[in-house]
A and B are shown apart, each in its own frame.
Chain A
Amino acid sequence: MPLLKFRLEKTGAPLWFRGLIPPITLALTFLLTSGLIIWGKANPFEAYYYFLIDPLSGRVSFLEVLVKSTPLILTGMAVTVAFVAGYYNIGAEGQLYAGALAAAWLGTVLGGVSTPVAILLMVLGGFVAGMLWALIPALLRVYMNVDEVVTTLLTNSIILFIISAILNGPWRDPQSGWPQSPEIAESTRLPQLAARSRLHFGFVLALIAVAMVWFILTRTSFGLKLRAVGLGREGARFAGIHVERSMLLAALISGGIAGIAGYVEVAGIQYHLIGELSPGYGYTGIIIATMGGLTALGAAASALFFGLVETGAQTVSRALGVPVYLGEVTQATMLLVILGMFILQRYRIRRA
C-alpha cells in the first residue's frame, strides 16, 4: 500500500506503542459509545465515572464486580480451550444451560450430603452435562466434517426449548406456577464468601479453573498439542499429533467448563433453574477469550474487566437512567476496537 510519503512495514509495532494499546482501546471505546450516552440524555463523563470508577469505590459494589465476573471467567476459560485448538465452540451458552440443568436436578436430590461433597458432585455433574451437550457437535465436526460453528449455534437454541419444556412441565413451581425449578437444598448451595454480598464460593471455583487451564495450556504436552492443532491441522498431523482426538478433547473440556458456569449460577445466585439464567454469558465468553489473546490469564483479566462493565452498566442505568444495554454495546465495541488494534500492532509506519 504505497502511501504518499509513508509506508506500512509488516514488522512488530514499536514497544512504546504496544504499551499504549490498552489505554487507546479504552479511550476509543468510550469515545465511540459516548454518542449513545448523550442520546440517553446523560453527561458522558459522569456516565464513565459511574461505569468504571463508582463500582470499584465501594465494598459491596466491588464484590458485585467479582460476582458478575464469576460466570464470565468460566465461559472465557471454556472458549479459550476450544479456540486454542482451532475448534470454534460458539456453544458455551448452551453448554452453560446443560450444566445448570444438571445442577438444578442434583440440588434437589443431594439434600442429605454435606456441602463439600455436594460441591464436588455438582461440579462433576455440571462438567459432565456441559460435556455431553458439546459432544454431538464435536463428533459431527471431527468425524463427519460438519461445521461446528453452525451446529453449536443451533444446539444453543435447542437446549432453550428443552429447558422451557421442563420448566413449563414437570418442574413448574406447583405453588406460584412460575416456570422455575424447585429450590435446591440448603446444603447444596455454594457458601457465601463475604457478609452482605452475593459473592460465593463459585468465584474460587472459577479461579481454580483459571489455574488449571493455565497449567494445561502452558505446562503440559497436551496443551502444546492443542496449540499445534490450532496453528495448523496438517502441520500437527505431520508432527504425529492425533488431530481428531485433540480437537475432540478440547471441545469436551470446553463444554465441561461452560457447564460449571451454569452450575455456579444456579447454586451460587439463583438457587433454582430459570429460563433467563444467562444474559449471554456464553457469547460474552467469546469476546473475553479473544481479548485475552487465547491465554488463561489474559482471559481471566478481561473477564474481571467485563464484570466491571456489567456492574457499571447497572450503576449508570440506576443513576442516570441510561438503558442498561449500554453495557452490551460497550462490550461489543471494545471487542471490535481491540480486533483492529491486534492488526495495528503488526505494523510500523516508516518514511518511504
Chain B
Amino acid sequence: MVVALFIATLTAATLRVATPILLAAIGETFSERAGVLNLGIEGIMFFGAFVSFFVADLTNSLWTGLLIAVVIGCLLGVLMAFFTVTLGVNQHVSGLGITLLASGLALFAFRLNYGGRATPPSIPPFEQLTPLANIPILSTILNQYLLTYIVFLVIVPISWWVMYRTSFGLKVRAVGENPEAADAAGINVFRIRYIVLAVGGGLMAMGGAFLSLAQLGAFTHGIIAGRGWVAIALVIFGNWNPSKVMLGSLIFGGAYALQLRLQAMGLQLPIPYETFLALPYIVTIIALVIAGRKASYPAALLKPYHRE
C-alpha cells in the first residue's frame, strides 16, 4: 500500500511537472517541423508566466490571464516569424534576441508594478480537479489541473493528428523538408511558417502561464529556469513527433518528480540535493546522445527561404 501510494504520488507529480514543458515542446515541434528553430521559447514562456499572472491579478480572472498570455505568446511567435521568415536572419541569434527581449520586458513590468512590496505578490491559483475522489490510489493520480488534462488528452492527440493526418500537417512537413518543392506545389511557405510560429508561441506562453497560474499562484524570477531549453532538447529526443515528445516529457518529469519526492522525504543523503536538481538535465543530454544517432532533423531547419 505504501509503495502503491508512493508510485501514485510520483505519477501525479510527473504529470504536473511535464505539463508546462510538454506544452512548450509541442509548440517547438511544429515550428521546427516547418524549418524554424525558435530559441525564443524560454523568453516566451517567461513572458507568458508574467502576463498571465499580471492580468489575472488585475482582472481577478485566471482564465482572462491565460487567454491574454496565449494571445501575446502568438504575437511573440509572429515577431520571431518576421525576423526568421520575412527577413531571413540567423535563427539562433534572433531567437535568443526574442528571449532576451521578452525576459527583459517581463522583469521591467514586474518591477514597475510590484517593485515596492515587501512580500512577493500572489494570487489564488487554479484548483485541481478531483474526479473519483473516493478511490484511494487512483484519485491521487487523477487529482490534476484542467490544463494537464487538456495537454495530455486533447493537445497531444490533436497535434499528432494534425501533423500526420491532415493536409495542413503535410504542408508543414513539406515546408520544413523542402521549401522549394513545397512552393512549386503551390504551398505558401511563408504563410505556413507564420502560422506554426504563432500557434507555437501561444503554446509556449500557455506553458509559462501554467506555472504561474496553476502550480505557483505567483511570478518569480526563476519561474522558468531553463525549462524552455529542456523543451528544445525533448523535441530532438522525440524526433519531431508529438507523441514521442510526450514520452520524453514524461521521462524528464519523472526524473524531476523523483528528485522532488526524495527532497520532501528529507532523507539524509551523502550527496548534495543539487545533484538531483541537475539530474534531469544530465538525463536529457544522455537521451540526446542516444537519440542523436538516429535524429533526423527537418532538412530545411535553420535555412531561411528566399523566393527567387
Contacts and interface: CB of A to CB of B under 8 A. Distances in A.
A165 B275 contact: yes
Contacts of B232: 149-150, 153
B281 A323 contact: no
Interface stretch (A65-73, A214-222, A327-335): A327-335
Contacts of A181: none
B226 A39 contact: no
B100 A144 contact: no
Interface string A16-37: 0000000000000000000010
Interface of B is mostly: helix
Interface in B201-254: 225-226, 229-230, 232-233, 236
Contact of B112 (A39, A158, A335): A39
B272 A325 contact: no
B125 interface: no
Contacts of B90: 290, 339
Contacts of B100: 280, 283, 287, 328, 331-332, 335
B26 to A, nearest CB: 17
Given A146-B288, A335-B100, A169 B112 contact: no
A287 B39 CA distance: 14
B112 A323 contact: yes
A333 B101 contact: yes
Contacts, number: 135
Nearest to A140: B289
A154 B101 contact: no
B96 A165 contact: no
A323 B105 CA distance: 10
Interface string B99-140: 011011101100110010000000000000000000000000
Nearest to B277: A161
A44 interface: no
A298 to B, nearest CB: 14
Contacts of A161: 274-275, 277-278, 281
Interface stretch (B17-25, B81-89, B261-269): B81-89
A88 interface: yes
A90 B97 CA distance: 12
Contact of B89 (A144, A145, A327, A339): A339
A147 B83 CA distance: 22
Interface in B263-308: 272-275, 277-278, 281-282, 284-285, 288-289, 292-293, 295
B105 A339 contact: no
Nearest to B284: A154
B146 interface: no
Contact of B94 (A88, A145, A336): A336
A336 B100 CA distance: 10
- A153, A165, A327, A340: most-surrounded residue (chain B CB, <10 A): A153
Contacts of B281: 154-155, 157-158, 161
Given A325-B111, A340-B83, A153 B226 contact: yes
Interface residues on B, range: 35 or more
A98 interface: no
Interface string A124-168: 000000000000000010001111011101111110011011001
A157 B282 CA distance: 10
A165 B225 contact: no
Contacts of B230: 154
A340 B108 contact: no
Interface string A290-327: 10000000000000000000000000000000011111
A339 B95 CA distance: 11
Given A146-B292, A339-B87, A329 B97 contact: no
A339 B83 CA distance: 8
B93 A332 contact: no
Contacts of B285: 140, 146, 151, 154-155
Given A145-B292, A283-B96, A339-B93, A150 B233 contact: yes
Contact of B272 (A145, A168, A324, A332): A168
A252 interface: no
11 contacts: A149-B37, A161-B277, A161-B278, A162-B278, A280-B100, A287-B93, A323-B115, A332-B101, A335-B100, A336-B94, A340-B87
Interface of B: 37, 39, 83, 87-90, 92-94, 96-98, 100-101, 103-105, 107-108, 111-112, 115, 225-226, 229-230, 232-233, 236, 272-275, 277-278, 281-282, 284-285, 288-289, 292-293, 295
Given A283-B100, A290-B90, A342-B89, 13 more contacts: A140-B288, A145-B293, A149-B92, A165-B275, A168-B272, A168-B274, A169-B272, A283-B96, A323-B112, A325-B108, A328-B108, A332-B98, A339-B93
